[in-house]
Each structure stands twice: as structure tokens, then as C-alpha cells.
A and B are shown apart, each in its own frame.
Chain A
Amino acid sequence: MFIPGQIITAFTFPGVIVHEYAHVLFCKWRKIEILDVSYLNFSNDNSGYVIHEKTEKFADTFWVSMGPFIVNSILCFLLCFSVYLPLSYFDIPNQLYNFFLAWLGISIGMHAIPSNQDVSNVYNAAKEELGKGNYLVVLCYPMVLAVYIFNFLRFFWIDLIYALAVGFGIASLYFK
């Protein structure tokens, strides 16, 4: 089912904010100057952005681009893990607070995967690094491809499937 991006952004806004904040957090960690930030907007092009200075090292580009994947996935897991038992395992009805936690966790998880812009930065940096003879960077090519495919499959709600897998799938494997 196709739902306009702005509506998804509105329903999952905490995830957008956390995604951009993860970029900011990793920029600060890598000591990269930030020039502009929008944590949330409803434009056609993007739902948020972080503009930072040009990075010199491949590792900086990699970590700044992958920041949301790490932060959003961890938060999604932490928020949903405690909710799994009452909502799914014990099937407790009328759990307003837990439904709120589940919504928050899934919203954040849905924005864990880096954008195409994020991975194109990694791809370009990897190409430059390859030119310098660092052949290890080819290891990130499959990841770049996977992210492109993932972003293409957003139309089929793969972002929601990913969030459910991280949020509840892992918990269901533990609480058998």
C-alpha cells in the first residue's frame, strides 16, 4: 500500500529526529564540524538532514553515515524488548503505556537504515580510499548495495518489517 512520505514522517517523527541526532552524535564523536541541521521537515526531498564539513578520512564518513543504523536499531530494541512480554507473550489487554512504547520503538526502528544519500557518501569515500590502495574498503560495497536495495524496498514496507524484526523478533527468539 502506498502512503505519501510526509504522512509516514508524521506518524514516525521520533525516528526521523533520532536518525538526524545520530548523525550529529557521530559528527561530534569524530570531531566533524556541523554546518546545518534540520531534525524534522515535511518537504518532498527529505524529512531531515545534517550538513557537515567535508570529511577527510574514510572512517569518518563511514561512522557518520552508519550512526543512525546503530543508534536507531539499539533504541528500537531497548524500547520494544520490555513490551514484548506483556503485549505478545502474556497477551495483556489495555496496555496504553506499552502501546506507546511499541509505537516509539517501531517509529525509531523504521528510520534505522541509512538513506541513499548517506550510503552514496560512503560509496564515494570508498572509491577515493580504493584509489589510495586501501583495498579493505571493498568490504563495505555489499553493505552499500544492501542499503540501496533496502531503500528501494521501502515501497513494500521493509522499513516496518526491519523495525518489527529488531523490536520484537529478537525478543521472541529469547522469550520462547
Chain B
Amino acid sequence: MQYRKCFSCGEDKPQNDILAINRELICADCVDKKVMSGESVDMNNAVFEFDSTVCSFCGHDAGELDLPLKASRPICDDCTNSIERKISPAWLSPFLFLIGFSIVGGIVFNWKYFEGYFILNKVVENYVLGDIESAYRETEQLIAKIPDSKDLKFVNNYYGGMYFLSVDSSKKALEMLNEIQEPDDFLVYLKNNARLSVAFDDKEYQTMLYYAEEIYKTDSSASALLSVASANACLYATTNDEKHRKLAETQLSEALLLDDSSKSLQHYASKIEHRIATKRILTEEQYVKEFPNDWKK
């Protein structure tokens, strides 16, 4: 500990009890006395200087030894260590490691969802481009990656339904569409299309007519009207009921009035005409095989 002589009382006092006021050293006791007696003390010009041999944090006296400074204050080793321990306690590194690990772990653990998101974008892209098969195949990939997502199962069933309808696998299409719990207008439309095709495959032409008419209630396109004509043609071919022939012919000509530009519609119309004329009900495959350039009257 270092001592300084007080200018006022002349005694040697520890430096930490001394102030320099206007370059004169004065101890804290004398400052107190002056203040108590009403004497003015120029505290604005008072300067305090730490004793470099006494720890300013705990008061430890290092004798003659000058202590290192921390924030311009002398500090002993114990206090330095104590502050260091407070800044970096033993649990801090594991805690920070846990946070870092959680971030990396989160990305690794959830990587399949990032992949899934990008595949789903491709699914939508392919659907917009009209490539239902690729869209469906990609949803299969998605389900394999993320099997526990209800939303993805929904998407898979939807695209699957559309794909199987497009390749005339109506039973499989209906199976997938029936898995969907949330009904919407387009789903009802798809399901009716699938049921119509299943009814045709099962030779249940009355049922086929029912679903064709159901579809036509919401879809007044030429294609929907041709489906009704097709069902009536089937009923005429199997029952010989003239009423169904007339209906089929009327609906056929009405449909062609609506749209006769598309090749697929012309192909469909010619298949119905063949059915009415010959009373033979051919599947698409059989018809194409027998009449590669469509049947002509």
C-alpha cells in the first residue's frame, strides 16, 4: 500500500483516501471536516488516483507490487479470475454448443422437408405444363420422403386420381380420389368421371348415364355432352330402346355444334356413331385397333 502526506493535517494516509484538489493532496477525513465546518471545497477540480498496489475491487494489499490494470483500475489475480469465471462460466460453452448444434441439427433433421418443398414446386410446374404423369410420379417421391404429411397424401391422391383417369385406369383413379377427405367441386367432378368410366368397364350403362348427366350439370362442354350421348348409345346398343338412340343422336349433333374443331372430340363422336350404327360397344383400345383412322358411315 502506498501512503501520501495530507496537505491539510500533515498525516500520512493511504493513497486511496487521498484526493488531489487544485494540485494539493488532501485526505478524505479533512475534506469531510471542511465540508462540515462550511468551508468551501472545490470538488469540481478534485482528482482521485487509485493506489496501484491495492486491488480496487476487493481491497487486497499487494505491498510494494504494482497490480495490473483493468478498466484503468488496479486489480488482483483473484478478482481477475473471478470476473473471468463470471464472463465464461463452465456451463456457457456447452450452452452455446447446444444452440449451435440445434441450428445445424435442425437443418440436417429437416433437410427432407426442404427437398420436399422443391419437389412440390416441380409437381405444380409439371401440372401447369399439363404433364400429369410427371406430376403424379413426383408426388410419389414426395410421399416416400415425407410419409407423415396429410397434405402431401392429399396432393398425391389428387394427382394420382387425375393421372389414372387420363390412362383409363378408372378403378385405381376412384380408389385414390376416394382417399381424399376434403370435398371440393373439382374433386366431385373427377370422382364422377372415374365412376362413369368404372360403370362403362362394369357394363353398368344406366349408372354410366347417371354420372354422365351429373357431370353435364356442372360442365356444359361438348366433351361432357358427348359422355351423355355415349351412355345413351351404350343403353341403345344393349336394350334396343329407340328413345336412347334418338337421345344419343340429338346429343351428338348438339355437341358437335358446340365444338367440332378438336380431333379428340371428333374421335369420340365417331366412336359413338359407330356404337349407334352397329350396336357394338368397344373399349377405346379395341376401337383404335379396329379403326385406326376412325369409323366412317
Contacts and interface: CB of A to CB of B under 8 A. Distances in A.
Interface of A: 14, 17-18, 21, 24, 33-39, 52-54, 75, 78-79, 82-83, 85-86, 89-94, 97-98, 100-101, 104, 108, 175
A90 B71 CA distance: 54
Contact of A93 (B87, B99, B113, B148): B148
A85 B110 contact: yes
A36 B86 contact: yes
16 contacts: A17-B95, A18-B99, A21-B92, A35-B70, A35-B71, A78-B106, A79-B103, A85-B110, A85-B114, A85-B117, A86-B110, A90-B151, A97-B105, A97-B109, A98-B106, A101-B102
A104 B103 CA distance: 10
Interface string B60-102: 0000000000111000000000010011010010011001001
Contact of B151 (A18, A39, A91, A94): A91
Contact of B149 (A14, A54, A90): A90
B116 A90 contact: yes
Nearest to A54: B71
A101 B106 contact: yes
Q: Chain B: interface residue count, which band? A: 20 to 34
Per DSSP, are chain B's interface residues mostly helix, strand or loop, or mixed? Answer: helix
Contacts, number: 80
Nearest to B148: A92
A93 B148 CA distance: 8
A82 B112 CA distance: 10
A104 B71 contact: no
Contacts of B149: 90-92
Interface of chain A, main secondary structure: helix
A34 B87 contact: yes
Contacts of B152: 90
Contact of B117 (A35, A89, A94): A89
Contacts of A101: 102, 106
A104 B83 contact: no
B146 A90 contact: yes
Contacts of A54: 71
A175 B117 CA distance: 8
B110 A83 contact: yes
A39 B86 CA distance: 9
Interface string B251-287: 0000000000000000000000000000000000000
Q: Kindly name the residue among B71, B113, B116 whose own CB sees the greatest number of chain A CB atoms within 10 A.
A: B113
B150 interface: yes
A24 B89 CA distance: 13
B35 interface: no
Contact of A89 (B72, B103, B113): B113
Given A35-B70, A90-B149, A90-B151, 19 more contacts: A21-B92, A21-B96, A33-B71, A34-B87, A38-B86, A54-B71, A75-B103, A79-B103, A82-B103, A82-B107, A82-B109, A86-B110, A89-B117, A91-B149, A91-B150, A91-B151, A92-B113, A93-B148, A101-B106
A171 to B, nearest CB: 11
A93 B83 CA distance: 46
A17 B150 CA distance: 38
